[in-house]
Amino acid sequence: MLSAMKQGVHDRLWGAQQRWFALRAQGETKRALKMRGLRECADPNRYTRNLIFAGSTRLSYERILKDFVEFAHQEHGCQQLEDIGKQEFRAFMDRGIEHGLAAKTLHQHRSALSKLAALTGRTESGVALSKRYGQKIRELVRTGALKGPSRATPSAEVAQRAVEVLRAWDARHFERTDETRAYHLAARLQLETSCRSISATVRVTRDSLGEANQITLTGKGGRMATVLISPELHRLLRLYLNARPGPLAGQRAYQTAYARAVRVAGGRVTGTHGLRRLSAQQFYGRTYRAAVGSGLTPGAAAAVATEEAVERLGHSRHRADVAQCYLGRG
């Protein structure tokens, strides 16, 4: 019985990703689905709850949900996925909190459980419980009862040294193997554009480069944005990608190399997302100074700079949670 429940988890998650593949083949985008939900019922997730957009998400959810159904089977006697309801959701989340799981892990758990609820016909109760536990987790982090997410950001000096370390390693790799590598260019691209590591590596090809120092980046949910980069970086990317059309680099290999480079540069390992945060903070500072210089009051300049930085990160301009996470501004 338990093995059948676990197979059911796999099948439903796989089906959720296949539904997305079918929609994407028809020209649909994640952003369009969210905007449709906002327009029609003020719920951006209305048309995405029965979909899974990335294989990594599917695998993460499957691992969590197989643990969950085993818990529901052993502790509550559930015999099939449709037997699992609010009681099991609450008990599993409460157990995680009691065991001292980090806030990031607990948020991932509630998202996975909410997804299963949507895939078993319990969307409303799953959404309500997920929101309730989201609030509870944030309150426990605020009071210090739970470990909050680590959001360390490298200093500008450490980041620049890490880029130079990567450049030296890329050159040495070429000398040893006669194979080109561009981890330092991926790091520079993150620093200049605030993009995610996936957008600076496997999603960059020769076709990404435009004229006049422009590059088109593909972000979360397939959302595309054309941004300006420095003439030097644009030139180096064009030279590299003309010789090796792409992708620019492997994401995981780049992330590993960057972590090593930060250590060599004398910094604390923050992951490549630290570059994204640093870039957003630097962009905020430049935008704020320009806004003040144009005559805006400090408060108005801060509001404008915050909204533009959040939008640059690929989110809606008014996302206060994103502003808090990346800029420390609520």
Between CA 119 and CA 131 the distance in angstroms is 17
pLDDT given at position 329: 67
pLDDT given at position 149: 63
Between CA 229 and CA 312 the distance in angstroms is 13
Query: Over 60: is that where the pLDDT of 290 sits?
Result: yes
Query: Over 90: is that where the pLDDT of 190 sits?
Result: yes
**Average pLDDT in the chain:** 92
Do 207 and 187 fall into the same domain? yes
* Domain stops at, among 116, 142, 168: 142
Quick: pLDDT tens for 207-231: 999 999 999 999 877 788 999 999 9
pLDDT given at position 204: 97
pLDDT (average), residues 155-184: 95
* Residue found under tokens 């690929």: 314
pLDDT given at position 31: 83
Answer yes or no: are the C-beta atoms of 251 and 197 closer than 8 Å: yes
Q: How far is CA 39 from the centre of its chain?
A: 24
pLDDT given at position 54: 86
* Domain stops at, among 119, 142, 165: 142
Q: Which range among 76-85, 99-108, 127-136, 181-190 has the greatest average pLDDT?
A: 181-190
pLDDT (average), residues 6-26: 96
Before 247, cis peptide (omega within 30)? Answer: yes
Query: Over 90: is that where the pLDDT of 104 sits?
Result: no
Do 125 and 200 fall into the same domain? no
Do 222 and 97 fall into the same domain? no
Do 134 and 159 fall into the same domain? no
Do 83 and 180 fall into the same domain? no
Quick: pLDDT tens for 232-271: 999 999 999 999 987 999 999 999 999 999 999 998 877 8
Higher pLDDT, 171 or 317: 171
Do 130 and 265 fall into the same domain? no
Do 102 and 19 fall into the same domain? yes
Do 125 and 155 fall into the same domain? no
- Which CATH number characterizes residue 164's domain? 1.10.443.10
Q: Percent of the chain having pLDDT more than 90?
A: 78
Query: Over 60: is that where the pLDDT of 182 sits?
Result: yes
Give DSSP secondary structure letters for 138-152. Answer: HHHHHTTSSPPPP--
Between CA 261 and CA 162 the distance in angstroms is 5
What SS3 state is found at 101? coil
Q: How far is CA 116 from the centre of its chain?
A: 21
pLDDT given at position 173: 95
User: In which domain, by residue range, is 267 found?
Assistant: 151-330
Do 268 and 121 fall into the same domain? no
Residue 178 binned pLDDT confidence (cut-offs 50, 70, 90): very high
Query: Over 70: is that where the pLDDT of 142 sits?
Result: yes
Query: Over 80: is that where the pLDDT of 150 sits?
Result: no
pLDDT (average), residues 266-289: 92
Do 171 and 266 fall into the same domain? yes
pTM over 0.85: no
Query: Over 70: is that where the pLDDT of 17 sits?
Result: yes
Query: Over 60: is that where the pLDDT of 330 sits?
Result: no
Query: Over 80: is that where the pLDDT of 287 sits?
Result: yes
Do 202 and 64 fall into the same domain? no
Written as one letter, the residue type at 95 is R
Q: How many domains are contained in the chain?
A: 2
Cβ neighbours for 200, distance < 8 A, ≥ 6 positions apart: 186, 187, 189, 190, 193, 217, 248, 249, 254
Residue 102 binned pLDDT confidence (cut-offs 50, 70, 90): confident
What SS3 state is found at 199? coil
* Domain stops at, among 108, 142, 176: 142
Do 256 and 296 fall into the same domain? yes
pLDDT given at position 179: 92
